[in-house]
Amino acid sequence: MKTGVVRGLIASVITACLLCLSAHADSEKPTLPEQFDKILRFPGDYRQNCNFATSSYPAPLPAFRSIMQSDAGISEANIKFLRENRAGVIPILTKKLETADLLRKPVPQPRDPSGKQDPEGPDPIGVDPDSFNTHLLTIIEELDAVEVIPQLLAIEEKYVPMLHAFEKDPAAPVPQVDGADRAKVVAENLSVYDKETESLRKEPEAELERKRAIFRAQAVQRDLLATCVLLMRNAGYAPLRSSRLEKLYGEILQTHFGKDKTLSKYKSPDDIPDYSRSYIKFDPVHKLAWRENIDLGIPYTPELRKEIIDLTKSFVASRNAAKTKEQ
């Protein structure tokens, strides 16, 4: 056999082997949904966080962000990956929300096999990707995922009757939300103040634990609403900017931070020192810096919920109308 022919055969064999190896490597590469689930299971940020958020009972509406995140947070690297793959992540998020079963009890997850852990930090354990969980709200906020607002509304509408039943009846099933039980949020007024003794009334631990469970369930429902408001604010939705809710929020900001000598120096987000940006934020609407670890709860009422739901539905309708006009 001629040398040129032999060389050609060898080259063909090598090429075929390389193609087989490449195909095998591609089959081994995890899909985006698999990578998404892995981030939920092993979120990656296990640093110690001593900042507990304070709240009150019944749970108010947090202004305007979700606060019931698990103590094991999503790392900056994972957030960066999700942002870079946003186009593919949005459909995954949408499906997770559409198929969420609020009665499904989360399955305990294994420890992160990477070995990353702060000795003083939380357990390196995430959430069950097959259950509704608090990390989904974190991802929605980080990606500014305005596309999933209809799914958020649908979950909230399913959640509310379950919440009302649980508030009235201890035997009623509590809505299942993985990660909420690990949120670093404390309701400071669970015990009743006794005017006669001028101290907190001692209550049975079982009674306090029930209040804690109700508070967690309430706080997640408020987070769903707050996330919708945050997305509308980020989009600059004019009816929200001129709403009673926005005016009330501005008054709360002024009450808490308007006379703060340090915060008043910051006239834009760029003025905030790098070392303070983890807990000092700047509100773009009211042009005021505020501290994230301070309770900015707006007292929750059925009327407040209706206002937010109506605004959100109008916002979704306006987006749909704009899409139709573009077609």
Distances (CA, A) of 168 to 55, 134, 212: 21, 24, 14
**Chain-wide mean pLDDT for the chain?**
88
Token pair listed for 252: 């709360």
pLDDT of residue 38: 97
SS3 273: coil
Confidence of residue 204 (pLDDT cuts 50, 70, 90): confident
pLDDT digit string (tens) for 26-63?
A: 458 999 999 999 999 999 988 876 667 788 999 999 98
Distance CA(264)–CA(288), nearest Å, equals 7
Confidence of residue 17 (pLDDT cuts 50, 70, 90): very low
Averaged pLDDT, 217-223: 96
pLDDT of residue 302: 97
* Parallel, antiparallel or unpaired: strands 53-55 and 199-200: unpaired
- Per the DSSP assignment, residues forming a β-bridge with 282 are 289
pLDDT of residue 121: 82
Distance CA(20)–CA(251), nearest Å, equals 65
Give the predicted TM-score (pTM) of the model. Answer: 0.85
pLDDT digit string (tens) for 144-180?
A: 999 999 999 999 999 999 999 999 999 999 999 999 9
pLDDT digit string (tens) for 186-196?
A: 888 887 655 55
Averaged pLDDT, 243-253: 93
